[in-house]
């Protein structure tokens, strides 16, 4: 008797799949919780509804219903992800699919006798299980597609900034490299100010240690631009007496601003990396 009822329900769903899908499409394309669907082609939305309702028979005959559900779930996720439908709207659209299914079944008098109403509970449980499968698989596929997009769009930038190249250097090498760069900056400054007596624009080279320090140590890297700013101002005061301070003051301020901004950005990138890795896993 239970098998007969289940067959009756599946036959109803399959024979009326397009009609239910059209009703669902009309609802989801105007519902206030699924606004992104309003701009989609109606035929595409209806097709997804039809595919979903026809999934019932496929799953009832499948040895592994969970795997069979993927034939719908992955296509559903891929199409709506490509159309920029947010995940929460895609999931709510699935809820509306289930709602329209049961409203239609009740309206058609599928549950005629008290016995059939009791048997309907079992079918309802199977339906809920199917929705659970589909909802989980759609969420999983959305996550997979999102991670793939992030990997593709960030590309080399992600590799470099998230610790594989510049950010991945061992701390001892970072410190040694920075000491060498700052020592070189000190020598260049002394040579130009004390020996040559000029404030020629050699300070552009200082942006190399400033940028590296900010990438390696984030906001703590501000010590490098502070050192370089102090260096050129003290050197100017000692060796370029009588030469206006204005240009070197501007350079010193720019060192600190650029170092601070890059350091702040790198702190944000590292926080983003943590979120990304959590989402990816």
Q: For 61-86, write each residue's pLDDT tens digit.
A: 778 888 888 988 999 999 999 999 99
What is the rounded average pLDDT for all residues in the chain? 82
The tokens for 110 are 């599928």
Quote the pLDDT of residue 164.
47
Task: Give the predicted TM-score (pTM) of the model.
Answer: 0.59
Quote the pLDDT of residue 26.
94
Contact between residue 208 and residue 188 where contact means Cβ atoms under 8 Å apart: no
Q: How far apart are CA 135 and CA 95, in angstroms?
A: 9
Domain coordinates in residue numbering, the chain: 2-154, 171-280
- The topology (CATH level 3) of 2-154 is Globin-like (1.10.490)
Neighbour-count burial of 172, counting CB atoms closer than 10 A to its CB (0-12 exposed, 13-18 middle, 19+ buried): exposed
Q: How far apart are CA 270 and CA 267, in angstroms?
A: 5
Q: For 148-188, write each residue's pLDDT tens digit.
A: 887 776 665 555 554 444 545 567 888 899 999 999 999 99
250: Cβ contacts below 8 Å, ≥ 6 apart: none
Quote the pLDDT of residue 1.
40
Quote the pLDDT of residue 59.
77
From first CA to last CA, the distance across the chain in angstroms is: 46
Q: What is the mean pLDDT of residues 237-260?
A: 90
Q: How far apart are CA 54 and CA 48, in angstroms?
A: 10
Q: How far apart are CA 200 and CA 192, in angstroms?
A: 7
């Amino acid at each position: 008797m239970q098998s007969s009822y289940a067959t009756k329900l599946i036959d109803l769903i399959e024979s009326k799949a397009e009609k239910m899908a059209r009703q669902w499409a009309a609802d989801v394309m105007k519902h206030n919780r699924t606004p992104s669907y309003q701009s989609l082609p109606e035929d595409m939305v209806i097709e997804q509804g039809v595919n979903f309702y026809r999934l019932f028979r496929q799953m009832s005959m499948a040895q592994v219903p969970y795997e069979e559900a993927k034939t719908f779930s992955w296509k559903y996720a891929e199409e709506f992800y490509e159309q920029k439908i947010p995940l929460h709207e895609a999931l709510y659209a699935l809820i509306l699919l289930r709602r329209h299914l049961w409203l239609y079944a009740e309206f058609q008098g599928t549950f005629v006798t008290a016995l059939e109403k009791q048997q309907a509970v079992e079918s309802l449980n199977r339906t809920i299980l199917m929705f659970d499968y589909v909802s989980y698989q759609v969420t999983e596929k959305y996550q997979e597609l999102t991670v793939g997009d992030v990997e593709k769009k960030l590309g080399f930038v992600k590799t470099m900034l998230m610790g594989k190249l510049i950010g991945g250097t061992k701390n001892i090498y970072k410190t040694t490299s920075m000491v060498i760069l700052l020592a070189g900056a000190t020598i260049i400054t002394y040579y130009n100010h004390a020996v040559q007596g000029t404030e020629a624009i050699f300070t552009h080279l200082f942006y190399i240690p400033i940028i590296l320090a900010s990438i390696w140590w984030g906001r703590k890297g501000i010590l490098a631009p502070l050192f370089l700013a102090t260096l050129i101002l003290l050197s100017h005061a000692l060796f370029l007496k009588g030469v206006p301070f204005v240009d070197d003051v501007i350079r010193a301020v720019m060192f600190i601003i650029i170092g601070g901004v890059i350091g702040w950005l790198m702190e944000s990138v590292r926080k983003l990396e943590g979120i990304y890795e959590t989402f990816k896993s």
